[in-house]
Amino acid sequence: MALTTSAALADGLRAIVGAAHLREGGAPVDGVVPRWSAEPETIEQAALLVALAHDARLTVVPRGAGTALELGHPPARVDLVLETRRLGAVLEYQPEDLTVTVQAGCTAGALSAQLAARRQILPLDPPGWAGRSLGGIAATHASGPLRQRYGTMRDLLLGVRFAQADGVLTWGGAKVVKSVSGYDVPKLMVGALGTLGVLLELTLRLHPAPDHESTWLASFRTPAQVQECVAALLDSTVQPNRIELLNARVLTACGLPASATALAVSIGTIEPAVRAQEGLVKALVQRARGTVETMGASFWRTYDRALAGFEGVTLRIGTVPARLADTLASVQAVLPDTAMAGCAGLGALHALVGHAEAPALQAALDRLRERVDDVGGSVIVERAPRAVRERLDPWGPVPEPALAAMRAIKTEFDPRGVLNAGRFVGGL
Amino acid sequence: MALSASVVAGLQRLLGPAGVVLTPEGRLTYESDMLTLYKAAPDAVVLPMTTNEVQAIVRLCREARVPIVPRGSGTGLIGGATAPHGGVMVSMTRMTQILEVDFPNRCATVQPGLINLWLTNAVRDRGWFFAPDPSSQMVSSIGGNVATNAGGPHCLKYGITTNHVLGLEIVTGTGDVVRVGGKASERAGYDLTGVLVGNEGTFGLVTAITVRLLHLPEAVKTALASFASVVEASEAVSAIIAAGIIPAALEMLDDAMIGAVNAAVGKVYPDGAGAVLLIELDGPRAEVEAQAERVAAICRERQALMVTVARDEAERALLWKGRKEAAGAVGRITAAYLLQDAVVPRSRLPQIMREMVAISKRHNLLFANVFHAGDGNLHPLICYDDRKPGELERAQQANEELLHACIALGGTVSGEHGIGMDKAKNLPLQYAEADLNFMYRLRRVFDPDGLMNPAKLLPSHPACGEGFRPSRPTLPAGTWV
């Protein structure tokens, strides 16, 4: 006998997580109130929830800290929100091996506090990082200034445990820093928005915390000078851990005097090596006709708060360092007064647009996407009101042969469309 | 399985007579990679020069249901570029161009047959290099490095091949040309570039690769420390990492290997030491100098017999010469050897080295070690005499025991060589049925006909077969739907 009534389903979900941890409704996801929200306490419970949802043809939306739920196409239907709030444990911290295994709901801030005692870091710092869940950072491939030196989640995720769309618990990767045993399944999960599996455990590579760190703010009159300075830094022996771009609006948000555009450059290593590189950084800035000022240790906290504080439409722009000036100019041309920031050394920028109506944003996206097309870049709507995203493609076009491969992967692993259905590229 | 006349004619039409090798003696050259335990010549070898030719080859083979095996320089160590099911081997040795170097964006695009070191040679004058440096880098191809996700001594600091690949062009098993990734920092969709690196040709044939270039460091310092035993040297390795220092390379050689190297290339390492560590630091000069002092102090605290720091490039080259020629030097002490590539968490090095001594004694076989100690990636050469009956089998048994011990300590089956034919059977040690099944299904997405490098990477295990479904979690009673 098939128990498909709402009451029977609720009983089933309740039997898995307990009455205290299943709610009718719950916090809306992208404006949609879910039928149920469940808070599993173990990964086995999480897998059972997914299995039940799969059999009952429910749609599942995994939710970590809930800070990035406006990424992607708006969900058509949300049956079950799987909250990872109670899956926040640090399971295995091996400081001697520079590795850690955490549950996906663990926040970057909570982990950071534990690592600090051993002078180690997980160098992932997207805006508002401390409150974000590591599972969420992985699923959305969110990154911050430190990617200049350390890369992104893609470079730091060694192993991953996830529930497939039918609830089968699956592991990919390894728990050691070097492994080529089988396909690189962790890479498939990073940035996949939970559409191939609900991320439940992550094994991560850690780094030693630098002994000493200094930050300089270099101010320039034109974007061309900024680009020139970035090129000079990259083509030098300086090893910065951040080369972050801030335009006038972001400088103002940080409480700093607004020059046209600035670069915040930091170097983290032992103190004599920081001092030795300081001279070269300053010389390169001055050669690009910029002015330099040394910032205090709190600068990066201020910067993080400023970026996290922007509201409204946010774009993630993937370009190359040699297109910085062009990208800044293009954005200002189509979206005047946009705040711009991001990793200049890699061309990974955020455009903090604020308010925009769908037609104007669509036109701007078309123009910007055209500008980055030949370098394989992208312009992704990271956040925008649902009403805006409903009327445009937040991901942008993916060329057909690659999209066909992505579609084939999604069809293989989630043929029923259980996991975040319709929210990913090409409506996957 | 011989090829049909129409397939042969089709290949010749595509590539001309010079592009197809059909003679038995010609095909014999292609029967194995450097792991010669696995030998099987293909029915034909083809030598394409363009992506279009590669695509036409795949389409032709797919239509005739002929297996396809890719091959770079044939320097793999896993039985990867060998044709156990016959078929067509696609050699990339005529696709060796550097298609573009883009210094402002720190990347280059190359064809798969390009030799690893040639890329660095082409950009070094301008101050750049390509970081992955497998010991074979003078002869191995970048396409092969991508296929196996190759490592190398300097991976400790710089990461393995996948961390340096930005984009790929691949002809998949469906015969489609797919371009993924690229120069830009972000791209929407699944990270297909990341998934394709390390596929060992089982998803398709890579025809172009965009890689990241890194700026040469300001300074490099290389130190050598000798110890009474591998256990003490291993403890020094752990202490260096625990001190927050990630050297560019941190290599260990044991007494057997020191003896072989000294006999082969002259006395580069101190005689009588149980182990030496070769430690290389690179980066800004002030950082490198301070870290070199700290590393030397740590080694002395850990009872190093002797610590020396190379004073100039000539001394540095000499210290590395021994390491780089180790695999050749081992010919001095043994006729044949098996090479293990498992990894343990680096804090477990002292433990696994003790275990290795026990295994070596149990089987009465010489183990010579030269390996990437900094990331726990072991490379014991298990020496045997192939003329003595039963000795190969003993070596294989010892090899398996060591691999099991590594996995029991939380390690992995392969750190940098890959799986190929050699280690496919070992994957179930590390992965459950559901995990293997996931990988099998991923493979089928790219190669629905099972023609791309068959019998490699995945084991013949029920979970890697059609129709297998891993067991699902059991729902609580009363919640069936």
CATH number for A370: 3.30.70
Burial A180-209 (b: 16+ CB within 10 A, else e): bbbbbbbbbbbbbbbbbbbbbbbbbbbbbb
DSSP conformation class of B476: P
Q: What does the pLDDT average to over A74-82? A: 96
Residues of A in Cβ contact (< 8 Å) with B176: 401, 404-405
Which CATH number goes with the domain that contains A100? Answer: 3.30.465.10
Residues A218-240 as b or e (16 or more Cβ within 10 Å = b): bbbeebbbbbbbbbbbbbbebbb
The mean pLDDT of chain B is: 95
Cβ distance of A16 and B244 shorter than 8 Å: no
CB atoms within 10 A of CB B409: 19
Tell whether A330 and A228 lie within a shared domain.
Answer: no
Give the pair of three-digit tokens for residue B205.
Answer: 């044939």
Residues A102 and A136 in one domain: yes
Looking at the structure, do residues A123 and A188 belong to the same domain, yes or no?
A: yes
**Chain A residue with minimal CA distance to B423?**
A181
Q: Measure the CA–CA gap between A80 and A24, rounded to whole angstroms.
A: 9
B60 vs chain A: nearest CA distance in angstroms?
19
Return the pLDDT at B1: 60
Mean pLDDT of B108-115: 98
Residue B477 has pLDDT above 90, yes or no: no
A119 contacts B414? CB cut-off 8 A: no
Model confidence at A132: pLDDT above 70: yes
Residues of chain A in contact with residue B199, where contact means CB-CB under 8 angstroms, are 183
Name chain A contacts of B148, Cβ cutoff 8 Å.
Answer: 180
Q: Domain total for chain A? A: 4
- Residue A330 CA to residue A135 CA, distance in Å, equals 33
Q: Report how far Cα B166 is from the mean position of its chain's Cα atoms.
A: 19
Residue A144, domain member (yes or no): yes
Chain A interface disruption, residue of B161, B438, B452, most A CBs within 10 A:
B438
What mean pLDDT is predicted for residues B319-324? 87
Indicate if A126 and A70 belong to the same structural domain. no
Query: Which of A389, A404, A423 is a domain's end point?
Result: A389
Query: Which of A21, A50, A83 is the last residue in one of the domains?
Result: A83
Q: Which residues of chain B make contact with A9, given a CB cutoff of 8 A?
A: 481
Domain of residue A237, CATH code: 3.30.70.3450
A187 and A96 in one domain? Answer: yes
Question: For residue A260, what pLDDT is reported?
Answer: 83
Domain membership of residue A249 (yes or no) is yes
- Conformation bin of residue A25: beta by default, left when phi > 0, alpha when psi is -120 to 50: left
**Co-location of A197 and A128 in the same domain:** yes
**pLDDT value for B480:** 57
- The closest alpha carbon to B396, from B379, B383, B410, B409, belongs to B383
In a domain, A134, yes or no: yes
Instruction: Point out the residue among B187, B286, B410 whose CB comes nearest to the CB of A318.
Output: B187
**Any domain includes A72:** yes
Last residue of a domain, one of A242, A270, A305: A305
* Residues A392/A406, Cβ–Cβ less than 8 Å: no
Report the pLDDT value the prediction gives residue A258, as an integer from 0 to 100: 84
If contacts are CB pairs under 8 Å, which of residues 241-270 in chain A contact chain B?
269-270
Residue A402 lies inside a defined structural domain of this protein:
no
The percentage of residues in chain B with a pLDDT greater than 70, rounded to a whole number, is: 99
Angle (deg, nearest 10), helices A324-334 and A223-234: 150
Q: Is the ipTM of this complex over 0.85?
A: yes
Q: Is residue A405 part of a domain?
A: no
Among candidates A96, A151, A412 on the partner chain, residue whose Cβ is nearest the Cβ of B347: A96
Residue B67 — very low, low, confident or very high, per pLDDT cuts 50/70/90? very high
Q: Is residue B475's pLDDT more than 70?
A: yes
- Please report the pLDDT score of residue A310 as a whole number: 96
End-to-end Cα distance, chain A: 32
Residue ranges of the alpha helices (H) in B116-271?
Answer: 116-123, 142-148, 155-158, 192-196, 230-242, 255-265
pTM of the model: 0.97
A418 located within any domain: no
pLDDT in tens, B169-200: 999 999 999 999 999 998 999 999 999 999 99
| pLDDT for the residue numbered A2 | 47
User: If you search the block for the tokens 């990793």, which residue do you land on?
Assistant: A343
Nearest by CB: A154 against B191, B285, B287 = B191
CB contact under 8 A, A181 and B427: yes
**B52 Cβ contact list (under 8 Å, min separation 6):** none
Q: What is the CA radius of gyration of chain B?
A: 23
User: pLDDT of A141-178, one tens digit each?
Assistant: 999 999 999 999 999 999 999 999 999 999 999 999 99
Is residue A268 located within the same domain as residue A221?
A: yes
Distance CA B171, CA A260 (A): 46
Averaged pLDDT of chain A: 96
At residue B22, does pLDDT exceed 60?
yes
Which residues of chain A neighbour B159 with C-beta distances below 8 Å? 151, 155
CA-based nearest distance A342→chain B, Å:
11
Residue B137 token pair: 């880098």
The predicted-structure confidence for B120-160, as pLDDT tens digits, reads as follows 999 999 999 999 999 999 999 999 999 999 999 999 999 99
* Residue from A42, A177, A229 to probe the interface with B (highest B Cβ count within 10 Å): A177
Q: B429-443: per-residue pLDDT in tens?
A: 999 999 999 999 999
Contact B285 A276 (CB under 8 A): yes
Which pLDDT belongs to residue A1? 35
Residue to test with chain A: of B412, B422, B457, B466, most A Cβ within 10 A: B412
**Tell me, what CATH number does A60's domain have?**
3.30.43.10
Q: Report which of B346, B327, B348, B351 is spatially closest to residue B337, judged by C-alpha positions.
A: B327
At residue B326, the pLDDT reads: 86
**Same-domain pairing of A237 and A183:** no
Partner-chain contact A424 B481, CB within 8 Å: no
The answer to the question of residue A346 being in a domain is yes
For residues B309-331, give the mean pLDDT.
Answer: 88
pLDDT digits (tens, 9 = 90+) for B232-279: 999 999 999 989 999 999 999 999 999 999 999 888 899 889 999 999
pLDDT for A398: 95
Structural domain range at position A366: 311-389
Instruction: Identify whether residues A199 and A105 lie together within a single domain.
Output: yes
Question: What residues of A are in contact with residue B106 (Cβ under 8 Å)?
Answer: 234, 321
For the segment B383-407, the average pLDDT, to the nearest whole number, is 96
The minimal CB distance from A183 to the residues B105, B186, B442 is found for: B442
Q: Which residue has the tokens 């049909």?
A: B4
* Mean pLDDT confidence for B303-320: 92
Assess whether A147 and A229 both reside in one domain.
Answer: no
**The pLDDT value given to residue B478:** 64
Find chain B residues with C-beta within 8 A of A273's C-beta: 283-287, 290
Q: How far is A212 from chain B (nearest CA, A)?
A: 12
Work out the average pLDDT over A24-40: 95
Co-location of A139 and A225 in the same domain:
no
Residues A44 and A139 in one domain: no
Distance CA B154, CA B164 (A): 13
Q: Residue written as tokens 């711009």?
A: A340
Average pLDDT over residues A26-45: 96
Give every CB contact of residue A418 below 8 A, 6+ residues apart in sequence: A50, A53, A54, A57, A58, A59, A60, A165, A166
Q: Are the beta carbons of B347 and A94 separated by less than 8 Å?
A: yes
B475/A187 CB distance under 8 A: no
Determine whether the interchain pair A151/B163 forms a contact, defined as Cβ–Cβ distance below 8 Å. Answer: yes
Query: CB A2: neighbour CB atoms within 10 A?
Result: 9
Residue B481: pLDDT over 80: no
Q: Which residues of A131-164 are buried (b: 16+ CB within 10 A; e: fewer)?
A: ebbbbbbbbbbbbbbbbbbbbbbbbbbbbbbbbb
Whether the per-residue pLDDT at A3 is higher than 60: the answer is no
